[in-house]
Structure 1
């Protein structure tokens, strides 16, 4: 049965209207009758049935839900519940009323350096929290960054993996294809290497580059190309940070801790007080938030 606005899931969640569609399904606005609140529900509905193993899709959905459910942080969308009805999996999540970074930058052309630094600081706090829990995102991009004016929220752990998932080998799933969004995939992953924290950080850097430039960074094969790229950019105080994050060699790439320290310094220079970045999800949002 196709989902419609009258459908009630789990005798609790009533679907209201679709919020967005992607290759793996539909995200719905729904109402939780038990707690009297609106939520977002991802309905896993593969668009290419003939090319996908239904059991593989369900395993991926369970992996997404379990990965995200491990995380509790204001910069990460919260997962509330997981249901299976009508032969589909439904992931119940916090509803975040927001624009994406992609839509915001497209509307404005590009974001100022100080806005981008503020977005980057809070986004990185959520990403480091995920990494500390053993979760890799693998698809960080402007369309997965939600901006409410007070919060920066990383969404869609749809291709997330657990570094220490017992079902994987020591180097990740042997048959996992390279998945992600063109322009935001780390060079080593395009070369066939597994996802790592460093690869997430490259995608994070590419997302910040998009924020200040309005376009993703072009492919660059070496460190000299990165320096040439940054010399022509509008990144200003973010230049050294982006150079470090966009290093093609993951061994030379900035760590999450070093990137956090650089972003804190940039924000303090801009007169924005930021608390120490904590990985337990507490005390991360400062009163110096920029209104967008």
Structure 2
């Protein structure tokens, strides 16, 4: 079965709800419109659904001049892209990058929805934030994503994981927040990919993605549970972490991805043998 791109997904505000698109432009720091906004606390630390699970219920809808924010029990709010202004440091894990604050109404809206003081920040120039040099080149940059421009997952790996959980309800791919979903490969084949072509775009596969408690937050209800981390810990654990999906860095910015694009694995490499690797 040939490999194909079955879904393209963007997340306008880091850790809030994403949306599927039929096509998207690849930029050096990720898909156009992906994770250019983030919430921060009073210390300037990026806030995610790890800390506030209700963030997965907030829907940011892209507009020509900003975002339209929606959340259960809240009035919608239009937020324009902020104009040039002073930069405020935003800390994403070990990185610090300057960003511009949105209008005060946006801070108040998010604070009311989450029940905590937060501010909405816009990354006007993602070229300020390099990727981890251990897994990228000096010129590689990233938006407000955790560490790398894009995340790829495969339908077959999710199906294998789902079968191993033994749950009555299948796991949703949205728990893993990928940008690109691929079909047609054997389960976990992506562990060995090093370069891929998707349509006209080529990517380096720089690092497998270690997963955190955010995957245990149900994207439809914001409730937390033991899966998929419990099953990943039994079958996909090595280096003290659990793994699902893989991180990409684009080598052809400006290319357009379209659902249905053919996918070709250009280069493979050795596969780690974690405890409980599916065979």
**Structure 2 length as normaliser, TM-score?**
0.25
Greater Rg, structure 1 or structure 2? 1
Q: Which has the higher contact order (CA 8 A, sep 6+)?
A: 2
**Structure 1 length as normaliser, TM-score?**
0.24
